[in-house]
Chain A
């Protein structure tokens, strides 16, 4: 047990870990996850060397790296920052607002992708679009 007498605001002190086993275990988890990420990164690098790789496969590997990153973030926040040891309501006041990121990411990336599609569709051909309307009008005038 610790000899700590904490600030008066704290009425109950959860017993602190006696040894550093959990910290070192988390260190190894983070290192191994990083090494797996790097392995996937190198795999992607080698896939891009020859002809254009399968886009779905590339996306799948990138998705895997994102999931591994979220796992790393969970370990850092929960163990290193001791958020996992706090009171549940405290955890919720931090985690629930961060849920907004799900929508932020989906909406903005969707928007970016839409820009790309619009640009690819219309860039360099504004005249074609202008021609369509007068042609239709001419036809209507003749009738």
Chain B
């Protein structure tokens, strides 16, 4: 056998040649992202399993219906659409940066990396607002002891169960102690009576609350907050680390490191990570906000 000829031309796997004609770093970035996809997949499938196992889950159109500076307007899907478009746009600027890198255009890479970083920071700001809104938001819920109280959306409380019928609501209101009545009255935005509720008697408080036409929910499955904050938090952490990586790449571009090296492959690898973040958001958007 003429082994020498084979060795020279096609010794694909024994060194000296990349089997996939791609650099080691890029192939390993792909395998890292694949393993990360399994991590996110496991989280989302776990969420799906629990959601399938209960009769009522929080309705996303009720939980995520607010928009910054829009007060109490009911705007389902609006804010999350904004977040989705921010991430798609930053994905486009990232791929444009990679494109400029292919053409060794340093100024172009700098410009588009900067836009990508701005997009990532904007997305993180949106998420910070959304989390704050949920964690500090107050919603009236019927507790197990038959009284009404005010609950935020956290990993320990979920005020987004089924809606309480009007009669049951009125009965629960009669049983509610004064301290909880004051809390509920504090959430009423329509009445201008917020400043003097403390002066009202219990009966007057109940009448004020009834007159405001409040709605209350039963507490929903406790798992909702844990899954929502856990998965969007893990995604947000990926966005944050992606922004850090992009900032490093931006600085290295500015310092001319990639021009010295002769190629902009690092931008491609950072780009892979950044697109993966966008890819995961597509599924988070589907699982938490759309269905």
Contact = CB atoms under 8 A, between A and B. Distances in A.
Contacts of B81: 34, 38
B22 A97 contact: no
Given A16-B103, A76-B282, A113-B52, A41 B88 contact: no
Contacts, number: 163
Interface string B1-29: 00000000000000001111111100100
A42 B77 contact: yes
A42 B74 CA distance: 13
B50 interface: yes
Contact of A48 (B37, B51, B61): B61
Nearest to B19: A89
Interface residues of B, number: 62
A87 B20 contact: yes
A5 B262 contact: yes
Contacts of A132: none
B170 interface: no
A116 B52 contact: yes
B263 A4 contact: yes
A12 B160 CA distance: 57
B48 interface: yes
B96 interface: yes
A98 B88 contact: no
B41 interface: yes
Contacts of B46: 108
Interface string A89-114: 11001100110010011001101110
B41 A104 contact: yes
A122 interface: no
A42 B76 contact: yes
A119 interface: yes
Contacts of A16: 99, 102-103
Contacts of A41: 61, 76-77, 289-290
Contact of A31 (B22, B85, B96, B289): B85
A119 B221 CA distance: 14
A4 B45 contact: no
B224 interface: no
Given A104-B41, A116-B53, 9 more contacts: A6-B263, A38-B81, A69-B282, A79-B95, A90-B30, A97-B34, A108-B48, A109-B48, A112-B53
Interface of A: 2-7, 9-12, 16-17, 20, 23-24, 27, 30-31, 34, 37-38, 40-42, 44-45, 48, 62, 65-66, 69, 72-73, 76-77, 79-83, 86-87, 89-90, 93-94, 97-98, 101, 104-105, 108-109, 111-113, 115-116, 119-120
30 contacts: A2-B102, A3-B103, A4-B102, A4-B103, A5-B263, A6-B265, A7-B263, A9-B17, A11-B17, A17-B99, A23-B95, A31-B88, A38-B81, A42-B76, A48-B61, A69-B285, A73-B279, A73-B282, A80-B92, A80-B94, A80-B278, A81-B272, A81-B275, A94-B31, A97-B34, A98-B37, A101-B41, A108-B48, A109-B45, A115-B49
